[in-house]
């Protein structure tokens, strides 16, 4: 059986979800699990999907980041599916489809996932360097202003000096 999984991070990405669903339908997926949830949140439909697929099934996803949070997570899922006799087809990974049912597909997936993880690490490193440089130049103040929590003592002090009216 061909089974599909589609995910977007937010409800505002309905067009992206619709596009994924169309791609999965074009692949002949008989059953599709979809959800709109951040990758850091609990992905209930993914869990249902992974429980549903059986030996001989093929799981289709449009992109690897729709399925997994990291290279390690992706490779763990691929290993689990493979041990259960389930294939994985990623429709667009580096511009090409990857099918883990073949040794070449598994190799390509592992290599491309490692490159993607490496690129992400480089991007985060450049970001940290840029922030450090901006701080050194006095141009970076942080993400957002901190909110000072007022204590009863603060309010009593201000009332004493007439800065805060009584409600």
Q: Which residue has the tokens 């004493």?
A: 160
The C-alpha angle 68, 105, 84, rounded to 5 degrees, equals 65
Rounded to a whole number of angstroms, the distance between the first and last alpha carbons of the chain is: 67
In sequence order, the 6+-apart residues with CB closer than 8 A to the CB of 126 are: none
CA distance linking residue 54 with residue 78, whole number of Å:
14
Handedness of CA 5, 11, 17, 18 (dihedral sign): positive
Catalytic residue set: 9
């Amino acid at each position: 059986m061909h089974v599909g999984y589609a995910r977007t991070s937010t409800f505002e990405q309905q067009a992206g979800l619709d596009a994924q669903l169309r791609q999965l339908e074009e692949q002949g997926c008989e059953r599709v699990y979809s959800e709109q949830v951040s990758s850091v949140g609990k992905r209930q439909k993914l869990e249902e999907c992974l429980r549903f697929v059986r030996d001989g099934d093929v799981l289709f996803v449009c992109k690897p980041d729709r399925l997994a949070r990291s290279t390690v997570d992706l490779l763990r899922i691929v290993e689990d599916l493979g041990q259960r006799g389930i294939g994985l087809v990623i429709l667009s990974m580096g511009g090409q489809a990857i099918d883990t049912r073949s040794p070449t597909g598994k190799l390509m997936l592992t290599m491309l996932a490692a490159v993607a993880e490496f690129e992400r690490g480089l991007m985060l490193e450049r970001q940290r360097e840029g922030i450090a440089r901006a701080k050194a130049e006095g141009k970076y103040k942080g993400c957002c202003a901190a909110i000072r929590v007022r204590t009863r003592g603060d309010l009593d002090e201000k009332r004493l000096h007439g800065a805060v009216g009584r409600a």
